[in-house]
Amino acid sequence: MSDITTAIVTGGVRGIGKAAAIALAKADRKVIVTYRSSREKAEEFQKEMNDAGYELSAVRCDMKDFTQCEALTGYAMEKYGRIDILVNNAGVTEDRLIRNMTVEDFDTVIDINLKGTFYMTKLVSKQMMKQRKGRIINLSSIAGITGIAGQANYAASKAGIIGFTKSAAKEFAYRNITVNAIAPGFIETDMNDRLPLQIRESALEEIPLRRFGAPEEVADLIVFLASEKAAYITGQVIHVDGGMVM
């Protein structure tokens, strides 16, 4: 195992975040996952992983609260003394057409998706810079590249993550910290399961591979970007979308 040993995965109790946490744990990483409201699921996930012999802990953290993000990074440092990998995955949607979208709808999505990514990167990068090594992986979306009607707030947050990723990659490269973004398309998660059947069927027609992706297919890329094998990759936005956006 390399010296890249500890990881924080935000929103790591379901969907892509959970798949990433499992994959990182199986790659011999010590993993801390965060959750905001799914305490029962988080405790169940932690127990399952611990019983299977993996070192994983679940910590409640609201990504829009900088103080809670500080407490999370403090916990990680107290527990492990270093932070090697940060996966900024936590995200929410509040979908409405712009004319019906409230200021609160917009602010909630920006605060958690974009500002939460900034908070965690700001806090964790300080330790990574001391270590002179680190991997930061931000979850964007094809929505941030193409835009999606009814998701102006979500698309704005995910487009912001792309710009943030490129800026951070340039700032941190001299300390051997890589920063990359992943832009998933339609992945089989709780979020996409809630989509109306008509939208799901329409989306499938636009995907050359004619299927939705599995969370594990995104998780495999996260593990790669977090490894030594990806040491010369930074500032990139990699699509995992079945060819939907080319």
Q: Tell me: the pLDDT tens digits for 65-98?
A: 999 999 999 999 999 999 999 999 999 999 999 9
pLDDT < 70: residue spans in the chain: 1-2
Amino acid, single-letter form, for residue 81: G
Q: 50: which residues sit within 8 A by CB, 6+ positions away?
A: 56
Q: Are 43 and 49 in contact (CB under 8 A)?
A: no
CATH number (domain holding residue 132): 3.40.50.720
In a domain, 1, yes or no: no
Domain count, the chain: 1
Predicted pLDDT at 1: 45
Predicted pLDDT at 38: 87
Predicted pLDDT at 2: 58
In a domain, 203, yes or no: yes
In a domain, 221, yes or no: yes
In a domain, 246, yes or no: no
Predicted pLDDT at 229: 97
Range of the domain at 50: 6-240
Identify which of 239, 119, 139, 220 has the alpha carbon closest to the alpha carbon of residue 179. Answer: 139
In a domain, 209, yes or no: yes
Active site residue 154: yes
Binding-site residues, in ranges, read: 11-14, 89, 154-158, 187
Token pair, residue 165, equals 């990723």
Three-state secondary structure call for residue 143: helix
In a domain, 211, yes or no: yes
Identify which of 209, 211, 155, 223 has the alpha carbon closest to the alpha carbon of residue 183. Answer: 155
Q: Which one from 119, 154, 174, 232 is the annotated catalytic residue? A: 154
Residue 139 phi/psi, 5-degree rounding, is -90, 110
- Cα separation, 92 vs 41, in Å, equals 17
Binding-site residues for NADP(+), in ranges, read: 11-14, 89, 154-158, 187
